[in-house]
Amino acid sequence: MRFLIFLLILIFTVPVLAQENEKLSWTEDRILTWEDFKASPKKHLPYKANTNSGLSFSWNATESSGGIKLNYEVGSNFYPNRSWVKEIEEVDYLLAHEQLHFDITELHARKLRKALQNYEPGGKIKKELDSIYSETEKQRRQMQMQFDKETNHSIYKEAEFKWRVFIKKELDKLSEFSS
Tell me the pLDDT tens digit for each residue of 19-61: 457 999 999 999 999 999 999 999 899 889 999 999 999 999 9
Length of the chain in terms of residues written:
179
E strand spans, the chain:
24-25, 49-50, 53-64, 67-78, 84-85
* pLDDT score, position 20: 58
Each domain of the chain, given as residue ranges in start order, spans 23-177
User: Does residue 88 contact residue 155 with C-beta atoms inside 8 Å?
Assistant: no
Give pTM, 2 decimals: 0.87
- Mean pLDDT, the chain, whole residue set: 89
Residue 4's pLDDT band (cuts 50, 70, 90): very low
